[in-house]
Amino acid sequence: MVARFKLEKAVYLDILEVIRGSMRAFIKDEGKIPESVIDPMEEQWIELINRNFQEIYIQTHEKVNKYLNFYNVLPDKLSSDEFKYIYFIGMTVADKLKEEGMVDHARYHLKAILRLLDYRLKDPYDAYRPQLSLRIQKTIDNHKINEHFGEFGWYLLYKCLFNAAQEKSIAHKKDE
């Protein structure tokens, strides 16, 4: 069976907006880029997405379908989740940023993705792993995220941590 994933454009746009906000917050929190540079950087990010929207949208679907078919994940409502949305949209945009020579933008964009994935581990299961996050940040800073984690490794790692925390929470509730 061939899996076919379909992400509604409204959800896609919502996720992009969440990523944009996370990227802006990360840049400000890190404090390495002057405030006067953040707005133009964000505008360049938005312009790239607007200019390449259809291509990025299609490539996101292709990446998710490749993942679903490689791991034989049957498409259903369970194959659509926040981790998948954040990760695959995020990685597709990061690839496009790099392709267009916007390497610093891609780095901050990937750190925003990391921040969002960390948040999903933290809430509601308190499964956030600060040391893991720091190591992934260093991998991003060294431009080695794909080399070290492969195409799906980062997603699988976070999804497994989340699923384990979720299963533990369900088991704990049954024991009560």
Please, what sign has the CA dihedral across residues 138, 105, 121, 63?
A: negative
Alpha helices (H) along 31-152: 35-51, 53-70, 82-99, 103-122, 130-141, 145-149
Q: Which residues contact 46 (CB under 8 A, 6 or more apart)?
A: 20
Cβ density class 40-69: b for 16+ within 10 Å, e for less: ebbeebeebbeebeeebbebbbebbbebbe
Average the pLDDT over each of 8-17, 59-68, 79-88, 139-148 and give the range with the smallest value.
79-88
pTM, full prediction: 0.90
Question: Which sequence spans correspond to the domains of the chain?
Answer: 9-175
Number of Cβ within 10 Å of residue 89's Cβ equals 24
Alpha helices (H) along 123-152: 130-141, 145-149
Q: Which residues contact 85 (CB under 8 A, 6 or more apart)?
A: 7, 11, 12, 15
Residue type, 170: I
d(CA 93, CA 138): 20
| Total length of the chain | 176
Please, what sign has the CA dihedral across residues 46, 48, 52, 57?
A: negative
pLDDT tens-digit map of 34-70: 989 999 999 999 999 999 999 999 999 999 989 988 9
pLDDT tens-digit map of 130-170: 999 999 999 999 999 999 999 999 999 999 999 899 898 88
